[in-house]
Structure 1
Amino acid sequence: MSLAGKSVIVTGAGSGIGASIAERAARSGARLCVAGRREAPLKELAARLGTPVEVVAVDVAARDAGERLVAAAMDRFGRVDAVVNNAGLARFGKLEESAAEDFDAMLTVNVRAPAELIRCALPQLRAHQGAVVNVSSVGGVLSMPARSAYGASKAALNSLTRSLARELAPDVRINAVLPGPVDTPLWHEAGLTENETDALRTSLLSATPMGRFGDGDEVARLVCFLIDPEQSGWITGALMPVDGGRTA
């Protein structure tokens, strides 16, 4: 796999799956524009990658986030070849206990922000026969009791992926990866108590045939495969689970 010379935007790159995607893409030769809400972890990531990296501290929920990211990549690298919409927001809980504000926030981060970044990057993606990978979740295709709003936002992202794949073909390829349970900081930001988090993790582990959680690099390898036109040039509109058999 080679991404040599490719300019790739990765959101949510400060930790977890996003950092793993940036690291894997860098090892494959990509030049990176990495985004996240906090500058410090992005700078730490950039320092260890050993490849040209543009750091943009931005909340993808901001209305101008897409324009800022594309402008930063263009200023530094002069082109955009791929976009990885990895930034995500999870708020878990039963419907009657959930706040409308949390639902709105998940729809903004998990659906609107990826659509807006794709829209802003489209001229460049079309010019370079580029690719988009949306990092979704198995929650978008499985029933998710006590996590219904999160699952609905990821189902919407899956639908966006498939529709845009047809709308933008053959110039731009758009696919999604659907991770199962992966050890990331997301677990500690989902609005659950420690006991609730432990119980959820235990139930997910028991429902995963491979008998373990995934790690970020296992997702990152599939993402980088999907943005490499030599490896996946005839794949678009795919929703690819990487989930230890969770959706089997």
Structure 2
Amino acid sequence: MSLHDKTFLVTGAGSGIGRAVARQLFGAGARVVLVGRRAAALCETAEAAQDGQALVHPADIARPAAAARAVQAALECFGGMDGLVNNAGLARFGPLADADPSDLNAMLDVNLLGPVHLIRAALPPLRAGGGSVVNVSSVGGVLAMPDRAVYGASKAALNSLTRSLARELAPLVRVNAVLPGPVDTPMYDDLGLAPEQVARLRDDMVDSTPLGRFGTPEDIASWVCRLLDPEAAGWVTGALIPVDGGRTS
């Protein structure tokens, strides 16, 4: 991949898909700004980088001012920015009638408004270098899923944002999204569900996936990196690519 010596900002880089994306970028010789709430987890991700390839930047992207600070940190450390991966996400499952309003707001802040603020802050360097944005969405944005209505709505909004900005920002900036199916990440420990509910949910997800297994973070990361690569995907923008084991087929 033609990612060597390029600079990318990855949110949610402390675990799961974000960590896998960062590691693949390191392997391609890229520089990566690692953004997430937990500094210790980001430092663990950075251990896969060679000297000078990683910048650890703890931040909560749900806070509007965090976006401009993260982009500024990238510019000050590496002098530019070639791509942005909006991977950080938040899921809270359960009936709408039982939902905590603060959880509903938090999902919109992290899953939609965080990417909006980051893309807006990153526009000058991305336009200067012909950069790329990859949003990590979800099949939840295209499937009707009871007890996950607001989560799905936030991802559907991210999908719409992706397609609209692909036209708005062309031809200088490409904007695409990957839509993972069920991926085995620490997210399942933080859904707001009891352990037995999580176990049933995981079983149901595998049963409804034609390939019969959970995806891995690496399954998703390889597609994210491909979309970032101007040689592999230089004529791709506005795409919503399901990487889901056939779940949306």
On whether the aligned pair clears a TM of 0.5, the verdict is yes
Contact 2:26 2:48 in 1 (8 A): no
Q: CA deviation at 1:48?
A: 2.4
The residue correspondences of 1:1-248 to structure 2 (distance < 5 A) are 1-50=1-50, 52-248=53-249
- CA displacement 1:147-193 (0-9 Å, x = unmatched): 11100100010000001001000110000000000000000111010
RMSD across aligned positions (CA): 0.7
Q: 1: CA distance between counterparts of 2:16 and 2:166?
A: 27
* Partner-residue secondary structure (3-state), 1:64: helix
AA aligned to 2:181 is G
Contact 1:2 1:29 in 2 (8 A): no
AA aligned to 2:8 is V
Q: CA deviation at 1:62?
A: 1.2
Q: 1: CA distance between counterparts of 2:121 and 2:88?
A: 16
- CA displacement 1:44-86 (0-9 Å, x = unmatched): 2112222510000001111211111111110110000000000
Q: CA deviation at 1:40?
A: 0.5
Q: 1: CA distance between counterparts of 2:47 and 2:102?
A: 36
- CA displacement 1:59-117 (0-9 Å, x = unmatched): 11112111111111101100000000000000000111111211111000000010100
- TM-score normalized with structure 2 length: 0.98
AA aligned to 1:25 is L
* Partner-residue secondary structure (3-state), 1:126: helix
* Partner-residue secondary structure (3-state), 2:64: coil
Q: 2: CA distance between counterparts of 1:204 and 1:179?
A: 12
AA aligned to 2:129 is H
Flag structure 1 segments of 5+ consecutive residues without an equivalent: none
* Count, aligned residues: 248
Flag structure 2 segments of 5+ consecutive residues without an equivalent: none
* Partner-residue secondary structure (3-state), 1:134: strand
